[in-house]
Amino acid sequence: MNYKFMRLLVFFDLPMLTDKDRREYARFHKYLIRNGFIMMQKSVYSKLVINNVTSLGVKQRLRNNLPREGIVELLEITENQFARIEYLVGEEQQITIDSTDRLIEV
């Protein structure tokens, strides 16, 4: 099988005005973590996927778990493009795992 690793990046800005908003934020955050997304910044998460077929499944499940309000954006890039991130201020986070050890194929 030929692997074409892709990286899914989720960017979001959710309202945090009411208790209901905060619960919705927490639910979405927990969904991302439980499904293998890694926090890069407070509202930026990434997930390594093995190919386009896996990517389609992850994207569909994400669409099924979106919050009711706010902005959620999704960007799919190749792993080679992701590897070219330049850190302009700060250092690379050590929590990012660049292996397929945690990769779950559905």
Residue 21 pLDDT: 95
State the average pLDDT over residues 92-105.
Answer: 56
The span from the CA of 63 to the CA of 32, in Å, is: 12
**Mean pLDDT of the region 61-71:** 96
CA nearest neighbour of 45 among 36, 55, 57, 54: 36
What's the pLDDT at 7?
A: 96
Instruction: Give residue 40's pLDDT.
Output: 93
For residues 8 and 76, what is the distance between their CA atoms, to the nearest angstrom?
A: 5
pLDDT for the residue numbered 92:
75
Q: Domains of the chain: which residue ranges?
A: 6-83
The residue among 50, 55, 51, 44 whose CA lies nearest residue 93 is: 44
More confident site: 50 or 96: 50
Q: What are phi and psi of 28, to 5 degrees?
A: -65, -45
Report the percent of the chain where pLDDT is more than 90.
Answer: 74
Residue range 6-83 forms a domain whose CATH class is alpha beta
**pLDDT, position 97:** 52
pTM beyond cutoff 0.85: no
For 15-54, how does the pLDDT look when each residue is reduced to its tens digit (9 = 90+)? 999 999 999 999 999 999 999 999 999 999 999 999 999 9
Report the pLDDT averaged over residues 86-93. Answer: 82
